[in-house]
Structure 1
């Protein structure tokens, strides 16, 4: 229950910060920063939806290992995808680790009834948070965007959620 209240508090703070920034004409953050399997990702705010605590995911037989099942999120059955597993970094998660994880729904405008399991939310980021960038490598998946480097040397990979949701690997959940 404490995790649910902490998540609601985070969402309230994020919404208040965005509203205040818009009102003051300040540059608004572009991405939601998340961590998954030791990797750092930037998810475009315009493509990201609501954040939910882990819980109530029902497994679906005969699906890919990265497809964790379905969850009832605000009255809608939503497919839950392990972001790390989908990207090839499958890892075993204990119930304690899962309890600290979050589900990030795709924005409703993308017309995708899915959510990503991420290990940790790292807040909002804008261009000012980074000191360098590089284009995706030639063999990178089509949903990989620019890689950004912050002042601490951490590499943040931008993920285009719309392109991810249309990718054949994402759409093929059957084993």
Structure 2
């Protein structure tokens, strides 16, 4: 180890090493918690009046509705094709696909990007409410009631809201991966 003259400053790397050493000393005194996670997390979104949550690993990203170009000869739920960082992103109106009519115009509209196997597609929804966390013990495997009938085959359970708490919602667990495998979803040609 080299000795440094009195008053000489540390290099940036030496400062980082010192910060790392001090952080490790602070953490060493903390109790270790190896209990499994007790929360389930997903991306909350709304279609019409129904609240859904998609599992974290099934949504690659969420973005504002990109400008897209219409594609002739496709099903009504295909909004168009957008350029997302040099990659073509087909944008599908999830509400129209489910038979509810087009997503309402507004600033809250968002696109949830699904990047699964060979499928890269954006799902246009009314609103994305960000990351939602639920106690794993509250998971109900049955679909919630009421539920959009056309969405039932993509729903894998729900997290019920507290009936005594104003504004509490029931969240249906919507699987974009199941949607991607549904016959007819990617068969968009007329």
Same fold (TM over 0.5): yes
Q: Are 2:108 and 1:100 equivalent residues in the alignment?
A: yes
Bigger helix share: 1
Separation in 1, partners of 2:177, 2:141: 21
Query: How far 1:113 moved relative to its partner?
Result: 1.2
For residues 68-147 of structure 1, the aligned pairs below 5 Å read 68-91=79-102, 93-94=104-105, 97=106, 99-106=107-114, 108-128=115-135, 133-136=140-143, 141-147=152-158
| Aligned ranges 1:37-48 → 2 under 5 Å | 37-48=48-59
Q: Give a deviation string over 1:131-168, Cα, whole Å, max 9, x none.
A: 5635138x864322103211245232211111110111
Structure 2: gaps spanning 5 or more residues: 1-32
Distance 1:74 1:28, change over 3 A: farther
Please report how far the alpha carbon of residue 52 of structure 1 lies from its aligned counterpart in structure 2 after TM superposition. 1.4
Contact 1:132 1:150 in 2 (8 A): no
CA RMSD of aligned residues (A): 2.7
Pairs aligned (count): 147
Task: Indicate how the Cα distance of structure 1 residues 164 and 123 shifts in structure 2: closer, same or farther if over 3 A, else same.
Answer: same
- Taking structure 2 as the reference length, the TM-score comes to 0.66
* 1:67-109 alpha-carbon deviations (Å, 9 max, x no partner): 1111111211011111111111113634xx1x43111101x34
1:59 maps to 70
SS in 1 for 2:135: helix
Normalised to the residue count of structure 1, the TM-score between the two structures is: 0.71
Q: Distance in 2 between matches of 1:30 and 1:154?
A: 15
Q: Look at both structures and tell me which one has the larger radius of gyration over its CA atoms.
A: 2
Could you tell me which runs of 5 or more consecutive residues in structure 1 were left unpaired when the two chains were aligned. Answer: 1-23
Q: Distance in 1 between matches of 2:170 and 2:75?
A: 28
